[in-house]
Structure 1
């Protein structure tokens, strides 16, 4: 699905046309925005697009400490255009300004119609200001969905004005206004027959992009705009008055796909083979698409919303989420199964379908109904199994096609028990080494994560990449005789077993041995920098990590001391670790449970303390001594 348009936070992304050294937005204390004015006017357009949204921006930058040069950029695409750009430095208009235009390379996207217009703006010396005036046009109000208040730099004052003629019906939702201190006014301009909404905000920090943060729609104050309809001389034009209108538009694009059932059915029959049960057929087709169709992200005009024909994706062996979902659906339908396309917003988006705009969803999957039970299939999750769901779509509202109607449902929630990562090691001491065997068992997103990491290593052989991953690049941790089960057939679990030789893991001093039984030390670097972190933190997915190591006590030795146990049990996570002597063996068990992936800033202090305790426990050594 297409990324959200008209979101001003996009400017914090790297501007590929400009020197990287100048990209200090969000952290540059030297430059501030003293004033920014934005004006959005709904106007009459042309025959093809009867309603336009004219946009006017005026941004004044001030240099606080020393002269500088900053990138100024704006984005547009097939449904918007840049009409005019002017720049003023210290009150004087920049003559001969020639902004660069080019396709914008969005990280992770194979192709996009997103374009960027930009140039370098000078700020001559301390205390001086430079201003940029920009005019743009959005050619279809469907694509005018949101207006954000925060900017790339510290913002002293911002004024946002929306001019809405009475012939244009829309809804404006005020999002994340709780602590933003935004003032608002609404007046009626009788001459223009328009309602004028004006919002003012003062002294806002720069927007900050942080890893593992919630999406911008959760974080920053913004206006969510939904155009319902327009009364034009040619009659009423309906946009998105309700979710039915949104679905009708999506469904109209689906009807234009042009699927050819012939080659798709031939492929589906071959994949299903001799399988008799419906669920086995679904599992086989789902796994085939996951394994054989390469995911790419594609955004190009209306193609950003319309899936590619199933036969094209089948032939090219690649597609975006829409193309993959469409191929999967058509294959299952050709086998006589009840499969549907689904639109969904991942957890990156704060909205649901109560506000029918193009900002609501950013993904497409497939649903299949088997004996009254709905299964959701997301083929972009390459290694996840049937009836397992990635964290990003769990609990999310989903819009399911149903002919001329639609169905609203939710993807089931899953607990950490879906995603288990278990490692059992049986070791003995040989000189200064630990030797023995290890066995891993992984399910759900733990399998997805491991195999994604392994394949990203880009080794010629999967076994070599697996070896590199399992040893964590530790040259002293030797692995041999790897055997796997579930690696190719995408079964309910993945198992890996091998022989271990951990060199120099035993330190001997006199009559005593010191042994570190915790090789992996999961979560070792999971502390949060509370001095610089601005936003809440979202962990990747709920999971349960179980590690059990059994060590045979050498003849003539006994346990001198065991590290103290650890027991942390918080509402969102739990850390447990303990040593136990059983006969002539020592058993070390560790368990890490992530119950809820969202950590609030108010919880960072407790999280850091618990991570410190976990780290300390993992670093403790077992002490053996001569009897």
Structure 2
């Protein structure tokens, strides 16, 4: 028996990782047992776990399905490379198979026949993974394999806990000479070539017949998940008006599009407005146009026009305004008594350029100083420049760490404080 005494209540904190990362807990599993005088091994190491898993997938998709084969061959015809064939199959499954989770008993372990999934047009993670493998096989590709993996809410490695508790997900993996492409079709928007955000940094158990291989899913770098904006501004008294272009790539693209979904009319307008909101709550979105909604390989883009009343402050001949209108991480100051780590969904990069046309009869009286910040948590820069016609600011903010631990909190708060101070810097225009 085990006894735990004088336990304090668990404090739920925002953006904390799964409870298994911090709460004391135990797993009980059967290592072996005796039957008819013989020792029967069950679980104890990764090889036994893989053998256990293999029992669930060893007898699926033994019978060829002519319709699925015909589709797979036609879909990949004319592809310039094997990777392009895999990509076409991957996108077809994303576009045509609806993800519905099944976790009832052994249904949580055994994929359904790919012919059935193809006929029904829905399935769970393991059904989609098995379908990708089947279609690749029909297309003559033998390098796409089933893979077991745990999402980031599970903190264990296979060496630490070689039981089914280490996994809660299945995907397919394309092995191109030890360059791995992780094929998780449950996230409809994620592009080919990057994993889903919730398996970054996790170990993947790849089935290779009698053998297996463990590889670590890479963390996607900030530059792959860039939110890029270019904004042109005009000032009329204290009112700003402008036009902008916003593009999201990588996880930023998939995250935004999954949030917006199929929203229509006024609901979609309000969601786009909240995405573009800048300056103050007086931001007024006039019009917008979306592009690359269905092209996963291109950034999701929104072109828009807006105005913003009472943004500048005019005192006699001088006009004061802050050119930083988007403020990443401004509200991410951590509480002094926080104990749980802080987890981000993915690393991000914001690259924003503001161009303010100088009103006739005005000149630049004062510009904020340029700013640089570079540590293991974040990289940031604000660069101001001025000509006779306009003032420009390019701001780049990159998040460098997926999870902040208590030893990071002090530096994080100092970093956010530096950002906030520089976000609020104002420039001054004066009448000639």
Normalised to the residue count of structure 2, the TM-score between the two structures is 0.89
Does the CA contact (< 8 Å) of 2:363 and 2:388 recur in 1?
Answer: no
Provide the rounded CA distance (Å) in 1 between the counterparts of 2:355 and 2:18: 43
Q: Is the 8 A contact 2:181 2:195 kept in 1?
A: no
* C-alpha displacement of 1:397: 1.5
Residue 496 (1) aligns with residue 299 (2): no
Residue of structure 2 equivalent to 1:193: none
SS in 1 for 2:166: coil
User: Is the 1:459–1:465 Cα contact (8 Å) retained in structure 2?
Assistant: no
Identify if the C-alpha distance between structure 1 residues 506 and 272 changes in structure 2 by more than 3 Å, giving closer, same or farther: farther
1:454 and 2:269 are equivalent in the alignment: no
Distance 1:256 1:468 in 2: 51
What is aligned with 1:580? Answer: 385
* Superposed displacement of residue 274, structure 1: 4.0
- 3-state SS, counterpart of residue 287 of structure 1: helix
Cα pair distance change 1:467/1:217, threshold 3 Å: closer
In structure 2, how many angstroms separate the alpha carbons of the residues matched to 1:366 and 1:310? Answer: 13
Quick check: 1:422–1:547 contact (8 Å CA) kept in 2?
yes
Q: CA deviation at 1:492?
A: 4.5
Task: Answer 1 or 2: which has greater strand percent.
Answer: 1
Change over 3 Å in CA distance of 1:583–1:272 after alignment to 2:
farther
The structure with the largest helix share of the pair is 2
- Name 1:288's counterpart in structure 2: 92
Q: Is the aligned partner of 1:221 residue 2:24?
A: yes
Q: Which has the higher contact order (CA 8 A, sep 6+)?
A: 2
Q: Deviations over 1:12-41 (max 9, x none)?
A: xxxxxxxxxxxxxxxxxxxxxxxxxxxxxx
Q: Give the direction of change, closer, same or farther, for the CA distance of 1:200–1:588 in structure 2 (3 Å limit).
A: same
Aligned residue for 2:111? 307
The Cα shift of 1:244 comes to 1.7
Secondary structure in structure 1 of the residue aligned to 2:325: coil
Q: Output the CA distance in 2 between the equivalents of 1:501 and 1:460.
A: 21
Which residue of 2 is the match for residue 412 of structure 1?
218
User: Does the residue aligned with 1:359 lie in a helix, a strand or coil?
Assistant: helix
* TM-score normalised to structure 1 length: 0.63
Describe the SS at the equivalent of 1:247. Answer: helix
Q: 2:130 aligns with which of 326, 346, 349?
A: 326
Is the CA contact (8 Å cut-off) linking 2:220 and 2:346 kept in structure 1? no
555-564 vs 331-340, greater mean Cα deviation = 555-564
What is the match of residue 402 of structure 1?
A: 208
Using the alignment, how far apart are the partners of 1:479 and 1:329 within structure 2?
47
Offset at 1:479? 4.2
CA separation of 1:295 and 1:503: change in aligned 2, threshold 3 A: farther
1:519 pairs with 2:325? yes
Gap runs ≥5 in structure 1: 1-160, 162-198
Say yes or no: does 1:385 pair with 2:196: no
In the alignment, is the contact (CA less than 8 A) between 1:556 and 1:626 conserved in 2? yes
The CA deviation at 1:616 is 3.3
* Number of corresponding residues: 427
How far is the alpha carbon of 1:317 from its aligned partner?
A: 3.0
Determine if contact 2:181/2:194 at 8 Å carries over to the other structure: no
Gaps in structure 2 of 5+ consecutive residues: none
Select which of 250, 269, 275 maps to 2:53.
250
Pick which of 306-315 and 495-504 moved more: 495-504
Q: Distance in 2 between matches of 1:313 and 1:291?
A: 14
Query: Whose Rg is larger?
Result: 1
User: Which one of the candidate residues 164, 168, 174 is aligned to 1:368?
Assistant: 174
The structure 2 residue matched to 1:603, chosen from 400, 408, 427, is: 408
Deviations 1:289-334 (A, max 9, x none): 2233332332100111112322333333332221221222222222
Contact 1:439 1:495 in 2 (8 A): yes
Secondary structure of residue in 1 paired with 2:261? helix
**1:336 has 2:140 as partner:** yes
2:429 alignment counterpart: 624
Task: Name whichever of 571-580 and 337-346 sits farther off.
Answer: 571-580
The within-5 A match list for 1:136-285 is 161=1, 199-233=2-36, 235-258=38-61, 261-272=65-76, 274-285=78-89
* 1:413 Cα deviation from its structure 2 partner: 3.6
State the shift of 1:431 in Å: 4.9
Task: Report the alpha carbon displacement of residue 599 of structure 1 after superposing the two structures with TM.
Answer: 1.0
